[in-house]
A = this chain, B = another copy of it.
Amino acid sequence: MSNKNIGIKDVARAAGVSVTTVSHVLNDVSYARVSPETKEKVRAVAEELGYGPNRLAQALRTQRTGMLGLLSEDIATTPHAGRIILGADEAAKRRGYNLMILNTSASASLESRTADVEALLERRVDGVLYATMYHRNVELPANLDSVPSVLVDSVSTSGNVCAVIPDEEGGARTAVAALLDAGHSRIGFLNNTDDVPATRLRLQGFRKTLDEAGLDGGSAPVESAPSEVHGGYEAALRMLGRSDRPTALFCYNDRMAMGAYRAAAELGLAIPKELSIVGFDDQQLIAANLHPGLTTVALPHYEMGAWATEQLIDAIEGKNELSRLALSPTILDCPLVVRDSIAAPGA
């Protein structure tokens, strides 16, 4: 139980040694030569007095705060940000670092985001993580380059900043392959209308996977709508109204899949017997609670947060060079989460 009022010199006095000795034993410095008895004594006294180091003073002296800044967009809006934070927090804690989290908005001006970075710099964080709430390209505050930093779930528009993003195309391939494996050949894609990397990459994964299976990906049915429950519902209605109705749907995300569930219900199509569905995101609240449970592809938010933190700390400690990793973004796997929304066609 650290007592604010007890300092290293109180311990020194009580133990009858100098502050150097106390500092040495409490920090376990390798080069220090202190007798075992003295060590013991110092530790005991420190414990007894309830001594706790003043990290501010340590930091001022060593030029290391052991703090990482995390600039995160819209912590509140999405559970995804939470997973990134958790991954980062646990990785940081493991290595003896702590996180200073600043919330910003996806729509915040470059100026206000620059001010946020400035706040982090004034606190002398050892490095910063910049996280966005969905995979996209960001214009980074210029002052970010004065400290080691890594991007999570986004890529810098001005390039050459270490970044980690999900394997959107691979995830789409995994999803479509699951449908193919179940025996489907008429597969539709409910895509997003936003101009974000995932829109293009998931479509590409969808097409290529069909092509490679000998199906014509280029002519496979695609309906686009805003990536919300409502959009999914409408796109699904259009898709399922086609003359050669698909037997399976790959949905851009779980929210759209939720809309597709409703469309299927209205059309009297049973899932998965008459219609198989696979989503993307593994948004717990939806995927696990829909009925039947939605088979989907998980975004590696936790892993991205953890990976970014590890790299950042390695860089801070001189164990690697961020610039080497900055040449192209690191891409993390999107694994399939199997539930109950896929079955053989006409099963």
A89 within 8 A of B: yes
Mark out the residues of chain A between 231 and 279 whose CB falls within 8 Å of any chain B CB in the assembled complex: 233, 255, 258, 262, 265
A118 in contact with B60 (CB, 8 Å): no
B102 in contact with A56 (CB, 8 Å): no
**Residues of chain B with a CB closer than 8 A to A143's CB:** 1-2
B103 in contact with A100 (CB, 8 Å): no
**Max chain B C-beta neighbours (<10 A), residue from A54, A118, A283:** A54
Say whether, besides A79-B76, A81-B82, A82-B82, A100 and B98 are in contact (CB < 8 Å).
Answer: yes
A2 in contact with B122 (CB, 8 Å): yes
CA distance A76 to B306 in the complex (A): 14
A124 to chain B: closest residue by CB:
B56
User: Among B1, B4, B123, which residue has its beta carbon within 8 angstroms of that of A56?
Assistant: B123
CA distance A1 to B118 in the complex (A): 7
Mark out the residues of chain A between 92 and 112 whose CB falls within 8 Å of any chain B CB in the assembled complex: 98-103
A288 to chain B: closest residue by CB:
B229
**Max chain B C-beta neighbours (<10 A), residue from A2, A54, A114, A228:** A2
A221 within 8 A of B: no
User: Among B99, B118, B233, B265, which residue has its beta carbon within 8 angstroms of that of A100?
Assistant: B99
User: Among B57, B67, B100, B102, which residue has its beta carbon within 8 angstroms of that of A60?
Assistant: B57
A118 in contact with B86 (CB, 8 Å): no
Say whether, besides A55-B122, A75-B82, A86-B76, A262 and B283 are in contact (CB < 8 Å).
Answer: no
A30 within 8 A of B: no
Mark out the residues of chain A between 116 and 163 whose CB falls within 8 Å of any chain B CB in the assembled complex: 118-119, 121-124, 142-143, 146
CA distance A258 to B146 in the complex (A): 49
A103 to chain B: closest residue by CB:
B89
Chain A interface bracket (under 10, 10 to 19, 20 to 34, 35 or more): 35 or more
A59 within 8 A of B: yes
A103 in contact with B86 (CB, 8 Å): yes
A27 within 8 A of B: no
CA distance A76 to B302 in the complex (A): 9
**Residues of chain B with a CB closer than 8 A to A9's CB:** none
Chain A 271-312, CB within 8 Å of chain B: the 1/0 string?
000000000000101100101000000000010000000000
B229 in contact with A1 (CB, 8 Å): no
A83 within 8 A of B: yes
A1 to chain B: closest residue by CB:
B143
CA distance A67 to B120 in the complex (A): 12
Known contacts A55-B122, A75-B82; 8 further A-B pairs (Cβ under 8 A): A56-B56, A56-B60, A76-B79, A89-B101, A90-B103, A229-B289, A262-B291, A285-B285
Binding site for B on A (CB under 8 A): 1-4, 52-57, 59-60, 65, 67, 75-79, 81-83, 85-86, 89-90, 98-103, 114, 118-119, 121-124, 142-143, 146, 228-230, 233, 255, 258, 262, 265, 283, 285-286, 289, 291, 302
- 28 contacting pairs across A/B (C-beta < 8 A): A1-B118, A1-B143, A1-B146, A2-B118, A2-B143, A3-B146, A4-B121, A52-B121, A52-B122, A54-B124, A55-B123, A56-B56, A56-B65, A56-B124, A76-B86, A76-B302, A85-B101, A85-B103, A89-B102, A98-B100, A99-B102, A100-B101, A101-B101, A229-B289, A258-B289, A262-B291, A283-B285, A285-B285
